[in-house]
C-alpha cells in the first residue's frame, strides 16, 4: 500500500468535491478541475475527507495498483489545493537586454535572438510582468492547475535554458545555478 495514498485529504471550506462515473470534480473559489481515476482505485468522500483505497479484485498487477494509489491521491490533493489557494510561480530573466512584456495573456520575450518570441497563454493562467530599473525582469504566473502551470514554466524556460558558464537564461526566482569555470591556459 502506498504511504502517500493512505493519507486522507481534508476538504477546506468553500470547496465542493463530487464523484461521478470515475471522475472526481473539485470546485472552489479559484476555479474548477476534474480528474479521471483508474477503476482499480476506490474514492470515498465522507465527513469532509477524501480517501483512496485499492481494489484487491481488479485484474491490474499489485505494483501498478500501488503506484496508482499514490498518484491519484496526489493529483486530487493538488486539485483541492489549487481551487482553494492556487499556485504561483515566478520566473526571472537573467541576461543583458533580456526583456518581457504582456498584453493580456499574450507574452512577448526579447531573449537575445534576432526576433522577439510570442506565446499565447491559456485563459486559466494569469500572467503579470515586472520590469524595474537595475532589477532582472520577472514573470509572475498564477493558476489553479498545478500541471498546466508547470508545463507553461517549462515551455518558457526552453526559450533560453540557464547555462552554467555565465548564469544567463530564464530561471525560477531564487534558483541557484551551479557554475562551471571556463577554459584555463595550458602550462608549458
pLDDT at res. 45:
92
CA distance 145 to 33: 7
CA distance 128 to 151: 17
Residue 1 predicted with pLDDT over 70? no
Kindly report, residue by residue over 124-157, the tens digit of the pLDDT. 999 999 999 999 999 999 999 999 999 999 999 9
CB of 5 closer than 8 Å to CB of 33: no
pLDDT at res. 55:
86
CA distance 16 to 21: 17
Q: pLDDT band for position 171 (50/70/90)? A: very high
CB of 92 closer than 8 Å to CB of 171: yes
Nearest to 25 by CA among 87, 83, 86, 66: 83
pLDDT at res. 66:
87
Q: pLDDT band for position 181 (50/70/90)? A: confident
A 10 A CB-CB count for 150 gives 14
Considering the entire predicted model, what is its pTM? 0.88
Amino acid at each position: 500500500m502506498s504511504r502517500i495514498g493512505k493519507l486522507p485529504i481534508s476538504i477546506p471550506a468553500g470547496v465542493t468535491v463530487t464523484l461521478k462515473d470515475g471522475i472526481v470534480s473539485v470546485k472552489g473559489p479559484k476555479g474548477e478541475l476534474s480528474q479521471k481515476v483508474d477503476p482499480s482505485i476506490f474514492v470515498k468522500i465522507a465527513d469532509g475527507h477524501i480517501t483512496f483505497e485499492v481494489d484487491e479484485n481488479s485484474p491490474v498487477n499489485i505494483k501498478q495498483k500501488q503506484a496508482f494509489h499514490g498518484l491519484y491521491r496526489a493529483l486530487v490533493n493538488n486539485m483541492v489545493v489549487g481551487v482553494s489557494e492556487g499556485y504561483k510561480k515566478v520566473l526571472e530573466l537573467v541576461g543583458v537586454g533580456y526583456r518581457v512584456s504582456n498584453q493580456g495573456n499574450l507574452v512577448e520575450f526579447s531573449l537575445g535572438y534576432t526576433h522577439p518570441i510570442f506565446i499565447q497563454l491559456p485563459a486559466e493562467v494569469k500572467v503579470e510582468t515586472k520590469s524595474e530599473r537595475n532589477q532582472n525582469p520577472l514573470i509572475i504566473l498564477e493558476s489553479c492547475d498545478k500541471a498546466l502551470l508547470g508545463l507553461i514554466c517549462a515551455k518558457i524556460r526552453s526559450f533560453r535554458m540557464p547555462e552554467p558558464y555565465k548564469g544567463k537564461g530564464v530561471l525560477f526566482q531564487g534558483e541557484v545555478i551551479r557554475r562551471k569555470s571556463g577554459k584555463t591556459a595550458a602550462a608549458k
